[in-house]
C-alpha cells in the first residue's frame, strides 16, 4: 500500500500542540466574554427542536399553518415530528438545557464549550499538517488556525460550525492513520467519525463520499470498505428513527428539497440571498402550494417535496440561467459573497483575502515540492460541490478555510523565506 506521509510526520511536537491549544483557547475565551450573546441568543432550528425535546414533545418543530386559502389571516400552531435538522448538535443543546436549564449561565457554558472545541480543532489541524507538509510548516498551520478571526467569530454562533470543523480534522487524521498503517481499527473509527459529522450537518455526507472516492482512487480499497461499513452503521439509528416517525425512508433530513430550492429558483443569486441582500425563503408560487398541505406526520416530507419539485422544474426550463447560477456559486464560494453583509465587513474581507493570497502561493509550492495534499484537494472539490448543489453561505466558506490553512501556511512560510533571502543579499 505504501506510506503517503512525508518524513515530517515523525516531527509531531507535543509542546507545539500545547502552545497552539493555549493560544487558541485564550483568544476564544476572550471573544466569548467580550462579544458572546447570552441574554437572548439566536438558537435557530437546532434550539427549537432541543427545547421541544426537553419539554417532552419529542424530536419536533412548531409550524404555523393557515386555516384556509392563501393569504388567510386565520392560522393554527401545530407541533409535528421533525427531521429538519440532523440530531448531533440538537442533542448537545438538549443535554445542556436538561441539565442546567435555559439561562444565561447555560448559554455561556455552551459558548465556552465551543471555545474548547475550537482550540482542539487548531491542534488537530497541526497534527494533520505534520502528516502532509514539511516539519517547519505544520506549526504555522496550527497557529494560523488558532488566531484566524472568522473562526473566533464562528465560535460565538449557537450552531455546529466549530464542532463540524473539529470533526473534519479528526476524520482526516484517522483516514491518514488508516491508510498508512493498514489499520481496520482506524478505518472503523474514521467511519464512525464520518457518521457523527453527517449527524452534525447533513452535507457531511458529501465529504464522506469525497474521502471514499479518494481512498478508492489511490488503491486503498480495504480501508474504504471498512470506512463505508462503519459510517452506515453509525447513521443507521437515525435512519431507523426517521422511518418510524415518517413511515417513509428519509436519508438524513427533511430540508434537502428546501435548501436545494434556495439555490435553484427564479430569484436565486447563487447565495442564500437575493442581490439586494434579502433572504431567499419562498415565492408566492411555492407559498400557494404550501398552504394546501394538511397538518400530519408527513407534513415536513410533503413540504420539502414541493420545494424540490419546484427547483427541478426551474432547472429543466432555465438551463442557461442554471449554468450562470453554477458560475456565480463558484465565484462567490472561492471569492466573496457580495450579497451577505457579514462577508462584506472589512475584517472578514482582509482575513479571507489574505488567506486566498497565501493559498495560491501555497498551491504552487505544494506542487513544486510534491507535497501529498490530494486528501485536501478531495476536500476542496467536495465542499465546492456542496456549494454548487445548494448555495453559498459564509459558513461553507469558513469550513472550507479549515482545509485551506495548511496550504496557505506553506505559501506564507516560503514567501517569508524568500523575503529574508532577498534582504540578506541586498544588504550585503
Asked if residue 407 lies in contact with residue 362, where contact means CB atoms within 8 angstroms, the answer is: yes
Q: CA nearest 408: which of 379, 368, 366, 377? A: 366
- Domain assignment present for residue 402? The answer is yes
User: In this structure, what C-alpha cell is assigned to residue 11?
Assistant: 516531527
- Domain assignment present for residue 49? The answer is yes
Q: CA nearest 85: which of 66, 53, 59, 109? A: 59
- Domain assignment present for residue 2? The answer is no
- Domain assignment present for residue 17? The answer is yes
Q: Which domain holds residue 168?
A: 7-426
Rounded (5°) CA angle 338-340-345: 85
Q: What pLDDT is attached to residue 14?
A: 80
- Domain assignment present for residue 24? The answer is yes
Q: What is the pLDDT along the chain (428 residues), one digit of tens a residue?
A: 334 444 444 456 788 999 999 999 999 999 999 999 999 999 999 999 999 999 999 999 998 876 655 555 566 788 999 999 999 999 999 999 999 999 999 999 999 999 999 999 999 999 999 999 998 999 999 999 999 999 999 999 999 999 999 999 999 999 999 999 999 999 999 999 999 999 999 999 999 999 999 999 999 999 999 999 999 999 999 999 999 999 999 989 999 999 999 999 999 999 999 988 899 998 989 988 988 888 888 999 999 999 999 999 999 999 999 999 999 999 999 999 999 888 889 999 999 999 999 999 999 999 999 999 999 999 999 999 999 999 999 899 999 999 999 999 999 999 999 998 887 777 65
- Kindly report the number of other CB atoms within 10 A of residue 166's CB atom: 24
Phi, psi of 234 (to 5 degrees): -65, -35
- Domain assignment present for residue 1? The answer is no
- Domain assignment present for residue 154? The answer is yes
182: left (phi over 0), alpha (psi -120 to 50) or beta: left
Domain count across the chain: 1
Q: What is the pTM of this model?
A: 0.92
Amino acid at each position: 500500500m505504501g506510506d503517503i506521509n512525508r518524513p515530517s510526520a515523525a516531527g509531531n511536537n507535543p509542546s507545539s500542540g500545547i502552545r497552539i491549544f493555549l493560544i487558541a483557547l485564550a483568544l476564544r475565551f476572550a471573544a466569548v466574554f467580550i462579544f458572546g450573546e447570552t441574554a437572548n441568543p439566536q438558537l435557530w432550528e437546532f434550539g427549537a427542536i432541543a427545547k421541544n425535546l426537553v419539554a417532552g414533545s419529542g424530536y419536533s418543530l412548531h409550524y404555523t399553518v393557515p386555516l384556509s386559502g392563501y393569504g388567510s389571516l386565520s392560522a393554527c400552531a401545530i407541533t409535528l415530528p421533525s427531521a429538519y435538522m440532523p440530531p448531533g448538535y440538537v442533542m448537545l443543546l438538549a443535554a445542556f438545557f436538561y441539565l442546567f436549564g435555559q439561562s444565561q449561565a447555560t448559554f455561556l457554558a455552551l459558548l465556552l464549550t465551543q471555545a474548547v472545541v475550537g482550540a482542539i480543532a487548531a491542534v488537530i489541524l497541526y497534527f494533520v499538517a505534520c502528516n502532509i507538509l514539511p516539519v517547519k510548516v505544520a506549526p504555522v498551520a496550527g497557529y494560523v488556525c488558532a488566531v484566524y478571526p472568522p473562526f473566533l467569530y464562528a465560535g460565538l454562533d449557537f450552531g455546529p460550525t466549530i464542532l463540524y470543523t473539529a470533526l473534519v480534522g479528526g476524520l482526516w487524521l484517522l483516514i491518514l492513520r488508516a491508510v498508512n498503517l493498514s489499520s481496520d481499527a482506524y478505518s472503523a473509527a474514521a467511519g464512525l467519525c464520518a457518521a457523527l459529522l453527517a449527524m452534525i450537518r447533513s452535507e457531511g455526507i458529501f465529504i464522506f463520499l469525497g474521502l471514499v472516492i479518494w481512498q478508492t482512487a489511490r488503491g486503498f480499497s480495504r480501508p474504504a470498505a471498512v470506512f463505508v461499513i462503519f459510517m452506515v452503521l453509525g447513521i443507521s439509528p437515525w435512519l431507523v428513527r426517521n422511518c418510524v416517525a415518517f413511515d417513509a425512508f428519509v436519508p438524513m433530513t427533511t430540508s434537502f428539497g428546501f435548501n436545494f430550492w434556495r439555490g435553484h429558483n427564479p430569484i436565486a443569486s447563487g447565495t442564500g440571498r437575493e442581490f439586494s441582500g434579502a433572504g431567499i425563503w419562498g415565492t408566492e408560487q411555492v407559498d400557494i402550494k404550501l398552504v394546501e398541505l394538511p397538518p400530519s406526520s408527513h407534513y415536513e416530507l410533503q413540504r420539502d417535496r414541493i420545494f424540490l419539485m419546484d427547483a427541478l422544474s426551474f432547472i429543466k426550463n432555465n438551463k442557461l440561467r442554471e449554468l450562470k447560477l453554477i458560475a456565480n456559486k463558484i465565484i462567490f464560494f472561492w471569492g466573496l459573497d457580495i450579497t451577505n453583509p457579514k462577508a462584506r465587513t472589512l475584517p472578514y474581507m482582509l482575513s479571507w483575502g489574505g488567506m486566498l493570497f497565501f493559498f495560491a502561493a501555497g498551491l504552487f509550492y505544494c506542487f513544486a515540492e510534491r507535497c501529498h495534499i490530494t486528501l485536501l484537494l478531495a476536500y476542496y472539490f467536495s465542499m465546492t460541490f456542496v456549494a454548487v448543489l445548494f448555495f453559498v453561505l459564509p459558513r461553507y466558506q469558513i469550513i472550507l478555510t479549515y482545509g485551506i490553512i495548511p496550504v496557505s501556511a506553506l505559501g506564507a512560510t516560503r514567501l517569508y523565506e524568500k523575503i529574508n533571502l532577498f534582504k540578506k543579499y541586498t544588504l550585503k
